[in-house]
Amino acid sequence: MRSFAFTPAESVGQAVSAQGGDGDAAYIAGGTTLIDLVKLDVMRPARMVGVNRLPLNDVERLDDGRLRVGALVTNTELAHHPLVTAHFPLLSQAILAGASTQLRNMATTGGNIMQRTRCPYFRDAAAACNKREPGSGCDALDGINRMHAILGTSEHCIAAHPSDMCVALAALGATLTLVGPHGAREIAFGDFHRLPEDRPDREHEIEPGELITHVTLDSPVEGAGAHYLKLRDRASYEFALASAGAMIAVEKGVIREARLALGGVGTRPWHAQEAEQALRGQPPETVNFEKAAGIALRDASARQHNAFKIPLARQAIVRALEKATQAATDS
């Protein structure tokens, strides 16, 4: 592993100043992804700014019902927090479906949002990867692409976004607070992760030196049931082949509100907004869930080894919507 300098920060301002908008510097908290990539020689920061001492580990409910989460709240703390389990169960379920207990104890909310793909070609410094080295090509296009994306792909990149937590945030709706050399700003979670298009190396709408300080979840959907379904090769410590995070609220026999996001199949956390719209005002029946699944996957584009993800994701959507409906009925 290449050597690097380490600078611990005591405040957000100090962290931003130490990072300085330098492309050769990186923030580090839990380090569950960053250190792996440094060891693999995929990321090569000359300096790391430690942010674990920053006062960003609180979870608070705002007067309007939204939930404000500090970027250093660990995945374990967030998944088990009473405000999350009571009002945002989809988020809790999604986090607990990811990684292992040990990793969740270290991984932070902000770090999870910045999590990078597990594409083996991205993580292999000898492979061609436009995400890692722009203009070098994409070995995944004609390589072993069983785990790769079928939604939001381009001729330059088909790497799947790995996070379970981000699928829940896409369905729930959230706002990110970022602080950088030019001050603080907010951005909708749905606008933060970029599609690869012709610049897969630009993964996030984040400016040089900016640090995620908080995630603020939208107000919960009253009376909604939620379910996160993750389909994978083994029961634990495995990334999704396809996952679906669903919320359903039913009133007078029809769907008043629907939320749906997908994981394992998109180049970013995939918010199926057209499918949500198609569900609203319809009876919560399997035939309508199947129609919504078709809409969500209408633009899916498969490669040689991952065509199975289309029917698999369709099943995940239908089952997640059925389970969410049942949860709404039982509540």
Question: What is the residue range of 26's domain?
Answer: 5-47
Cα separation, 180 vs 182, in Å, equals: 5
DSSP 223-280: T-EEEEEEE-SSSSS---SEEEEEEEEEETTEEEEEEEEEESSBSS-EE-HHHHHHHT
What is the per-residue pLDDT for 22? 85
* Assigned domain for 304 exists: yes
* Assigned domain for 308 exists: yes
Strand (E) or helix (H) holding 102: helix 101-106
What is the per-residue pLDDT for 1? 81
* Assigned domain for 9 exists: yes
What is the per-residue pLDDT for 23? 86
* Assigned domain for 192 exists: no
Environment class of residue 259 by beta-carbon count within 10 Å: exposed (0-12), middle (13-18) or buried (19+)? buried
According to DSSP, the β-strands at 254-263 and 270-271 are antiparallel
* Assigned domain for 121 exists: no
* Assigned domain for 120 exists: no
* Assigned domain for 25 exists: yes
Q: How many domains does the chain have?
A: 2
- Average pLDDT per run of 10 along the chain, which is 331 residues long? 94 96 94 96 96 98 97 98 98 97 97 98 97 98 98 98 98 98 97 98 97 98 97 95 98 98 98 98 98 98 98 98 96 75
* Assigned domain for 77 exists: no
Q: What is the CATH number of the domain that holds 305?
A: 3.30.390.50
